[in-house]
Amino acid sequence: MLPPSIAGASMKTAYTAVLAAAALLAGCATTSPPKADLAVLKQQVIDTETAFAKTMADRDHAAFVTFLADETLWFKSKGILRGKAAVAEDWKRFYEKPQAPFSWKPTEVEVLESGTLAISSGPVYDPAGNLVGVFNSIWRQEAPGVWRIVFDKGGCPCEGQK
């Protein structure tokens, strides 16, 4: 058993520590995280989608792959490609010929209030500039300013190309 002077000091120290922790937690509960600047994030996604599309024009498959999240889901007319490696392998064929088989550009982009996810969509064109489809991509912010595709569902006749 502790002498009364030590026991009292230990209780007082423990009580003070509990009060300090409670005050800290209460402060955290009432402080909301800073709001994301949606205009800045939206521009980041527009710039990212535009750079992503440029990989096709530049015929740069390696750059294309860098925009894919590891766990990407890519919807096709017949099934789903799961994962970065599967999408990269499937899309290699679109980068093999000297002329791009299609192009795309974002015309609509929206970002969640949390700033963690965004959707981009826009037209898909054939080499002659004719509208042949519309794409929809979901982007996730993986680090400040770094967006990668987690879901993609396009509507373009490019899937039938070999």
pTM for the full predicted model: 0.75
Both tokens of 150, joined, read 């987690």
Q: Which residues 6+ apart lie within 8 Å of 147 measured at CB? A: 44, 45, 48, 118, 139, 140, 141
Question: Do residues 65 and 111 share a domain?
Answer: yes
Which one, of 78, 136, 62, lies nearest residue 104 by Cα?
A: 136
Question: Do residues 7 and 46 share a domain?
Answer: no
Higher-confidence residue of 15 and 144: namely 144
Question: Do residues 8 and 63 share a domain?
Answer: no
Quote the domain boundaries for residue 10.
1-31
Q: What is the pLDDT of residue 80?
A: 96
Q: State the CATH number of the domain containing residue 117.
A: 3.10.450.50
pLDDT digits (tens, 9 = 90+) for 132-162: 999 999 999 999 999 999 999 987 555 544 4
Q: What is the pLDDT of residue 81?
A: 97
Question: Do residues 27 and 42 share a domain?
Answer: no
Question: Do residues 20 and 99 share a domain?
Answer: no
Which pLDDT band, with edges at 50, 70 and 90, does 65 fall under? Answer: very high
Question: Do residues 60 and 101 share a domain?
Answer: yes
Q: What is the pLDDT of residue 34?
A: 59
Q: How many domains does the chain have?
A: 2
Question: Do residues 45 and 7 share a domain?
Answer: no
pLDDT digits (tens, 9 = 90+) for 78-124: 899 999 999 999 999 999 999 999 999 999 999 999 999 999 999 99
Question: Do residues 152 and 73 share a domain?
Answer: yes
